[in-house]
Structure 1
Amino acid sequence: MQKILNFLIDKTEVTIGEFKVYAKETLFISLAEKNGGGLVYENGWVQKNGWNWKKPYGLAALDNEPVVHINFNEAENYCKWNKKRIPTINEWELAAYTEFRINNKDGYKFKKSYPYPTGENTLGLNCLNDCNFNYPSKYSKFLLRGYGHVSTSSTKKGINGLYDMGGNVWEWVDINDNSYKGTKGGSWWYGKNQMIQGYNTIKPKNMSAVYIGFRCVKDFKN
């Protein structure tokens, strides 16, 4: 985890491998599994039979891929199980856009805020059209748009040493609403416009989709 002022944040999105441990120990079954599959956007939202956190595109995935098809409550429970929590929208934005490492080898300047989670541009991230990324092809045949997600830590390292705060998959954030929660950072389905700090979206908290993942934070005490 990386320290950001008074909290710590996961350096990567929670992976399938990490989530497997939780699922095994808690006998977890996701809502997407119970309903027969998660969602993907085609000409409107479409439920895909057999798509779930174990098989995000209907076939077995690698352990280092981000876990998706997990709704907000399920993500929150995972974080709590790890003595962590879902970041607030303010915490997420602070970690994504402002560098807090005094000395780093990544070229980001201490206390400087940037327009994107990788600085002045989005090159090297997994997004649609704007990132000059070496896109994978194993999932694209299942999609009408985009190429799908990639393994965590396989894209350019961003501000505060964090990976995929822009692109790859949307990430759940906590907002003051009982029915809807925020998602930040864009995904493989979108270009760079969804990665800027001011771009906010909300989704039903019980939504399980192929391009929504999450990471956790915990309070830091000296």
Structure 2
Amino acid sequence: WLSDGWEKVKKNKWKAPMYWEKINDEWYVRDFLGIRKINPNEPVCHVSYYEADAYCKWAGKRLPTEAEWEKAACWNEEKQEKTIFPWGNNQPTNEKCNLLESYHWGCTEIGTYPKGVSSSGCQQMIGDVWEWTSSEFTGYPGFKSGFDEYNDKWFTNQKVLRGGSFGTPKMSIRGSYRNFFRLDERWLFSGFRCAEDI
């Protein structure tokens, strides 16, 4: 654990992802449809950056950088080109990803959207959960804000999340869309995927 993350865990008495409950020695999750048993084939949801980072380290892996995430999602190695979405440049459909208009109101099992797989073989890069990356949220090189409220002080201590979630509208998502939150936020339909060096 990162030391400040471990302090948050102790202070807030976190024992599991947000909205998880242990009932009769079994784990359940409370979501928009009620309470149900945890499905091990769904992405974990409602975890902070600290929890995502700690799990990856425990598993002998790490969180991807923002650039690694985008390459896995939208770079077509065979064609040597970047696409707007993992499946190409066509707009999202309910056959390709789980976004707000899919009306699932939660995560779906891995493998549900074979038409949405990226050319690198990654599944469900768009929808289900916002995915934490290890990258600090900063402006791209050369970025100059035209608004005073967008200053370095406001962007401090936040990490980038990518991919959208089941609560993201289709019109608002693309492979390059960046979201950002503080490292201790857990409420934002956030999850993660592990990366490793090869």
TM-score by length of 2: 0.69
Q: Secondary structure at the match of 1:91?
A: helix
Number of residue pairs the alignment of both structures matches: 160
More strand per residue: 2
Residues 20 and 30 of structure 2 are in contact (CA less than 8 Å); yes or no, is this contact kept in structure 1? no
In structure 2, what is the Cα distance between the partners aligned to 1:170 and 1:112? 24
- For 2:14, the equivalent position in structure 1 comes to 34
Relative distance call for 1:56 and 1:93 in structure 2 (3 A) is farther
What value does the CA root-mean-square deviation take over the aligned residues? 3.0
Q: What's the % identity of the aligned pairs?
A: 29
- For 1:171, the equivalent position in structure 2 comes to 131
Per-residue CA shift, 1:26-65, capped at 9, x if unaligned? xxx8988738983xxxxxxxxx6959x8515243221111
Matched letter for residue 164 of structure 1: Q
In structure 1, what is the Cα distance between the partners aligned to 2:75 and 2:10? 34
Q: Secondary structure at the match of 1:55?
A: strand
Structure 1: segments with no counterpart, 5+ residues: 1-28, 39-47, 103-109, 137-146
- For 1:150, the equivalent position in structure 2 comes to 108
In structure 1, what is the Cα distance between the partners aligned to 2:10 and 2:72? 29
- For 2:59, the equivalent position in structure 1 comes to 82
- For 1:120, the equivalent position in structure 2 comes to 89
Structure 2: segments with no counterpart, 5+ residues: 1-8, 138-155
- For 1:214, the equivalent position in structure 2 comes to 192
Relative distance call for 1:59 and 1:79 in structure 2 (3 A) is same
Shift of 1:118: 2.0
Shift of 1:188: 0.8
In structure 1, what is the Cα distance between the partners aligned to 2:181 and 2:15? 18
In structure 1, what is the Cα distance between the partners aligned to 2:88 and 2:98? 15
Q: Secondary structure at the match of 1:161?
A: coil
Matched letter for residue 171 of structure 1: E
Matched letter for residue 133 of structure 2: V
Matched letter for residue 175 of structure 1: S
TM-score by length of 1: 0.62
Q: Secondary structure at the match of 2:126?
A: coil
Larger Rg: 2
